[in-house]
Structure 1
Amino acid sequence: MRYLPLTDADRDAMLAVIGAGSVDELFADVPAAARLAEPIAGLPNHASEMAVERHMARLSADNLTAGAAPFFLGAGAYRHHIPASVDHMIQRGEFLTAYTPYQPEIAQGTLQVLFEFQTQVARLFGTDVANASLYDGSTACWEAIAMAARITKRNKAIISSGLHAHYVETARTMAKFTGDELVTSAPELVAEPDDAAVIAAIDGGTSCVVVQYPDVLGRIPDLAAIAQAAQAKGALLIAVVTEPVALGLLESPGSLGADIVVGEGQSIGVGLQFGGPYLGLFGCREKFLRQIPGRLCGETVDADGKRGFVLTLSTREQHIRREKATSNICTNSGLCALAFSIHMTLLGGEGLSKMAKASHMRARQTAERLSAIPGVAVINRHYFNEFAVTLPHDARQVVRDLADRQVLGGVSLGRLYPHVDALSGGLLVAATECTTDEDIETFATTLAEVLA
C-alpha cells in the first residue's frame, strides 16, 4: 500500500500559510528546462523489482564509464586510483550506518575520524583550522563568500575569471537571496591568468577575492600577490582548490597568504560516481574560527583523564538559534570524508607527492603528443595535470565524435560557457596517474582522425 500521509486539505493549508498558490510555485527557481513536464520516457509506472533491475541494467549499459575507455575528463572531477582498502573500510557497519552524531560524545569513533580528517585538510591547505566537511566544492565556495561578508561587513566579491563556471553559478544562485554583489567574467584562452585585472578590481567595498588554484584552464595564479593586494584593502583572499592532488606539488594556499581555502575533495578517496556525492573542504585562519560554517570536532580529556573527542563548534541552525547560525548547511559528507581520510592516511605526504608527480608527468606527455596534431595548440605555459587546447572546430562536436569512437577526450569549454563564442574551440584535457601510454596514443590518433 502506498504511504500518503497528507490529504489535499493538508497541502492547501500549508500552501496558504507560506503564501503559495500551488506546489508548482515552490519550484519557480528551478529552470523550466530542468523540470519534467511528464514522467521519464522509457520507465514503466509499475513493474516488479526484478524487472526494474533488468531495465536499469540495460539503460546503464549505454554509459561509457571512466575505466572502460581512454579518459581525459577533468574540469573539477578527476579519475585517480583509489585503493581497494578504502572501499573495504568505509563499508564496515560502524561507519556505513553512522549518521550525524546528534549526541556527539557517544559517537567517539565518528568524532575521531572527523578530527583526523580536519587535521589532514588543514595541513593540506596550509590553514590553521578546517571544519568537518561540507557538501561539495561549489557550496563550500559560496559559504566562504558569505563568511567573508560577515567578517568584513562588506558585500562585494571579486571573482576571478578562472573560477569554474559551475562554482560561479552556485554563488549567483545564493547571492540572489543575500544581496551580495558578485563581479565576474569569463576566462580568455591565454597562457597565463590575468592576475593584474583581479588586483585592479579590488576596492574599499570588496569583501573578498575568489581565485581558483590551479584555475579552470589549469593555469596557476600568483596567490601571494593577490593576497597582499586584497589584504591591503581590508578584503580576504579565498582560494578554491578543485584538484587537491595538485597540493602534493604546489605550495599550499594558506602558506601563500589565503585567508580562507575551500575545495572539492573528490580526487582523494571518492570515485567519480557520475557526479556525486562529493566532498566539500573548508579551512581558514584561526581568528575566523567562530564564523566557519558547519561543524568542528575537537580533542579533550574525560573525567578520568583519558583522551576523547567532542563536537567543539556547531554553527548551524539545528544546534543554535537560527538568527545566530552562520549557515544552513545541515550535515557534513561524513562517509566521503572518511574515504578521503583513509586514502590520505594510506598515501601519507610522500605518497601524495608521488601521486602528484605521476599525474603531472602524464599531463606533460599528453600535451606534448597533442601539440603535434595539426590544428591543435596547447594554451598553457604552466599547469599541473590539466591544460587547455584550441581546436579548429567547435570542441563540443569534437568531444561527441571522440565519445562515439570510445574515447572520453576532455571537456569542451563551450559546455561550460555556452554563450561565449570565443571559447567554443577550447578543450580542457586532464591526465592522472591512471593515464597510460596507450591511452595517450589512442586519444591523439583518434583526435587527429576526427579533425581531419
Structure 2
Amino acid sequence: MSYRYLPMTDADQEDMLATIGVENKEELFEDVNGTIRLQRPLNLQPALTEMELVKEFEQLAAKNTTMKTTPSFLGAGVYHHFIPSVVSHVTSRSEFYTAYTPYQPEMSQGELQAIFEFQTMVCELTGMEIANSSMYDGHTALAEAAVMACGQYKMKRQKLLISAGVHPEARDVVKTQAKGPGLTVEEVAVTSGATNEEALKQVLNEEVAAVIVQYPNFFGTIEDLRQLKEQAEQAGAMFIVKSNPLALGMLTPPGEFGADIVVGDTQPFGIAAQYGGPHCGYFATTKKLMRKVPGRLVGQTVDEDGRRGFVLTLQAREQHIRRDKATSNICSNQALNALASSVAMAALGKQGVKEMAYQSLQKAHYAKRKLQEAGCKLPYEGPVFHEFVVELGQPVKKVNELLFEKGFIGGFDLGQIDASRNEEMLVCVTEMRTKEEIDAFAEAIGGILS
C-alpha cells in the first residue's frame, strides 16, 4: 500500500482500470487536451508515514499560543470562560455527537429534551416568554430578528435603526441580510460609549420597524434599555436587544424592560473560543410572535399514557424546505453547541452563573482601576460589565506586540474597525483572570507606556 491514509491499493487501481478497459491512467485521460494537462509530477513532498505525520503536527501545534497558558484580555464577542469538565463528557456521547435533526420524536427524546432545556434556560436568563432551539450564532440571530420585525408590519415599515454600539460584525450581517427584502439599515451614533438617545429620537418615525441595540454594547457600556424602549414604543417600532447571556446573570434582563426580541450568542456557556467558532445563537421573544420565530421550537407534551414527552412544534417541516412559505432561511440549528451550553448552565446552576458574572464584573472594574493607575485614560464613564475601553496614547497594534513578548494576549485594537481609534483598546476581563495576572498586565502596559 503506497499511502496509509487512502483505502485504495495499487491492486484496486489495476482492477478498476481493467474493468474500464484501459491499461493505465495515461490512457484514461488521453482525451484531455495535452495543453491543459500538467506535464510534470505535482510539486509535493514525499508522503510521510502516520507516525511521522503525527509527530510533525504535534510540533506545529506546540508553536501555538493558547489561553490555557497565556493570560488573555481579548474579548470583543468571543470570551474565555470556565467550562465545567462534564460538558465534554456529555457532548462526546455518540447519541448526541452524531444526532441529526430530531424529526422523529419517538426516536429522539433525549435530543429533544436537551433542546427544550436550552430553550427554558434562555427564557429564564432573558426574561422572555419563548425561545427557539438555537441558531448559527448571535450575529445571524440578530439579522433574523431584524427581518422578522419588518415582516410583522407586512414590510410596510422597511427601515431598521441599529446602534453603532452593536458589534460591527453583527451590523454587517444585518446589512447583508437586509439587502434581500430591500430593507434600509441606518446607524445611530454612539456618544460617550452609549447610544445617543437624542440622535435616535431625531430619526425615529413611522417608517422604522425596529430599534436594535446591544446590552452590554460592543464598547462594554451598559445601555439604558428603559429609555431606549420608551422611544421605540412611542414611534410604534419594535425593540430588539442583542445581549451577552452571562451578563444577564447580573443585569436586569431585557424582557423586564419590554424588549420584543432578545438575541445573542451562548458561547460564554460551555463553548470554547476555538478560533472564533462555531458558536450557538439564541433567539427569544414573546408568545405573540412565536409563529414567526425562525428555526425550530421544541414543545413539551404527554403521550397517551400520560408520560412526559417532547416534539418539534408549531412549525411543520415544510416550513424549512418550501421557500414561498418559510419565514426564514434558517433550516438547521446548533444542537451540539446548544447542548454544551445547556450542560454548562445546568452544571453551574443559578448561583454559579451569577458568581461567574459577579467575578467578571468585579475583576473588570479592578483591572480598569489598575490600568488607569498605570497611565491609561478612560474615555467613557458609563457602567460596564466585563469589557471597557482604554486610551493608550500610542498604536494598540504596537502595544499588543510588546505585550505578547511579555506573555500576555492584549485587548482588541479598535483601530481595526475605525482607523481614527488606533490608540484605543477594548479590554476584557473574565472570571478566568487572577488578581496576579491583572496586576502583571497593568504593570506591563505601564512599562510600555512610560
Matched, 1:199 2:201: yes
Q: In structure 2, what is the equivalent of residue 13 of structure 1?
A: none
Report how far residue 422 of structure 1 moved.
3.1
| 3-state DSSP of counterpart to 2:161 | strand
Residue in 2 that maps onto 1:166? 169
Instruction: Note closer, same or farther for the CA distance 1:447–1:128 as it changes in structure 2 (3 Å cut).
Output: same
Give 1:279-298 correspondences, 5 Å limit: 279-298=280-299
**Could you report, residue by residue, the CA deviation over 1:267-318 in whole angstroms, capped at 9, with x for unpaired residues?**
0111111111111010001100111000000011112222111100337766
The residue aligned with 2:230 is 228
Pick from 429, 433, 436: which aligns with 2:434? 436
Q: Distance in 2 between matches of 1:172 and 1:150?
A: 16
Distance 1:123 1:2, change over 3 A: same
Q: 1:183/1:277 Cα in 2 relative to 1: closer, same or farther (>3 Å)?
A: same
Deviates more, 1:220-229 or 1:245-254: 220-229
SS of the counterpart of 1:184? strand
TM-score by length of 2: 0.86
Q: Distance in 1 between matches of 2:189 and 2:62?
A: 36
Q: 1:181 aligned to 2:184?
A: yes
Correspondence list, 1:19-38, <5 A: none
CA distance in 1 between counterparts of 2:367 and 2:285 reads 35
Shift of 1:451: 2.1
Q: 1:361 — aligned with what?
A: 362
Q: Residue 213 of structure 2: SS of its match in structure 1?
A: strand
Tell me the CA shift for residue 195 of structure 1: 2.7
Residue 366 to residue 127, structure 1, CA distance change in 2 (3 Å): same
Which letter maps to 1:197? A
Tell whether the 8 Å contact from 2:291 to 2:315 is kept in structure 1 after alignment: no
Q: Deviations over 1:161-183 (max 9, x none)?
A: 10001101111222232211110
Take 2:120 and 2:193, find their aligned partners in 1: how far apart are those partners?
A: 35
Query: What CA distance in whole angstroms lies between the structure 2 residues aligned with 1:45 and 1:218?
Result: 51
Which letter maps to 2:119? Q
Judge which range, 313-322 or 277-286, deviates more: 313-322
Unmatched 5+ residue regions in structure 2? 1-5, 9-42
- How far off is 1:60 after superposition? 2.8
- Could you tell me how far apart the structure 1 residues matched to 2:376 and 2:345 are? 40
Question: Residues 43 and 202 from structure 1, CA distance in 2 versus in 1: closer, same or farther, beyond 3 angstroms?
Answer: farther
Q: Could you give the per-residue CA deviations for residues 45-83 of structure 1, whole angstroms, max 9, x where no partner exists?
A: 965544443343333333221121121111111111111
1:187 positional shift = 4.3
C-alpha distance in 2, partners of 1:381/1:185?
Answer: 18
> How far apart, in 1, do the equivalents of 2:314 and 2:57 lie?
43
Question: What SS does structure 1 have at the residue aligned with 2:278?
Answer: coil
Residue in structure 2 matching 1:157, options 155, 160, 164: 160
Distance 2:384 2:161 in 1: 23
Give the stretch that moved more between structures: 42-51 or 371-380.
42-51
Task: Give aligned pairs, total.
Answer: 409
Quick one: distance in 2 between partners of 1:296 and 1:386?
A: 33
User: Is residue 421 of structure 2 the alignment partner of residue 423 of structure 1?
Assistant: yes
Q: Distance in 1 between matches of 2:249 and 2:338?
A: 19
Q: Describe how 1:262-411 pairs up with structure 2 within 5 A.
A: 262-314=263-315, 319=320, 321-377=322-378, 379-411=380-412
Helix, strand or coil at the partner of 1:159: strand
Contact 1:371 1:378 in 2 (8 A): no
CA contact (8 A) 1:316 1:328 kept: no
| Paired residue type of 1:275 | G
2:242 & 2:53 partners in 1: Cα distance? Answer: 41
Q: Is 2:239–2:259's contact at 8 Å kept on the other side of the alignment?
A: yes
Are positions 1:216 and 2:218 aligned together? Answer: yes
RMSD: 2.2
| Rg larger for | 2
CA deviation vs aligned residue, 1:250-270 (integer Å, no higher than 9, x gap): 000011111000001000111
Percent of aligned pairs with the same amino acid: 42
Corresponding letter in the other structure for 1:184: E
Most deviating of 335-344 and 174-183: 174-183
Partner of 1:9: none
2:222 maps to amino acid: I
2:134 counterpart of 1:133: yes
Cα pair distance change 1:176/1:400, threshold 3 Å = farther
Q: Distance in 2 between matches of 1:378 and 1:363?
A: 16
Q: Does 1:451 align with 2:449?
A: yes
Change (3 A) 1:180 1:192: closer
1:378 positional shift: 5.4
Contact 1:379 1:390 in 2 (8 A): no
Q: Which aligned pairs between 1:31-50 and structure 2 lie closer than 5 A?
A: 47-50=48-51
- C-alpha separation between the residues in 1 aligned to 2:123 and 2:46? 49
Give yes or no for contact 1:199–1:226 (8 Å, CA) kept in 2: no
User: Contact 1:316–1:327 (CA<8 Å) still a contact in 2?
Assistant: no
Question: How many angstroms apart in 2 are the aligned matches of 1:174 and 1:426?
Answer: 30
Deviation of residue 103 (structure 1)? 2.1
Counterpart amino acid of residue 443 in structure 2: T
Looking at structure 1, the residues matched to 146 and 278 of structure 2 have their Cα atoms a distance apart, in angstroms, of: 22
2-structure distance, mates of 1:118, 1:43: 50
**Greater shift in the superposed pair: 73-82 or 196-205:** 196-205
Assess if the C-alpha contact under 8 Å between 2:320 and 2:329 holds in 1.
no
Change (3 A) 1:297 1:371: same
For residue 87 of structure 1, what is the aligned residue in structure 2? 88
Change in CA separation of 1:271 and 1:411 when aligned onto 2, cut-off 3 Å: same
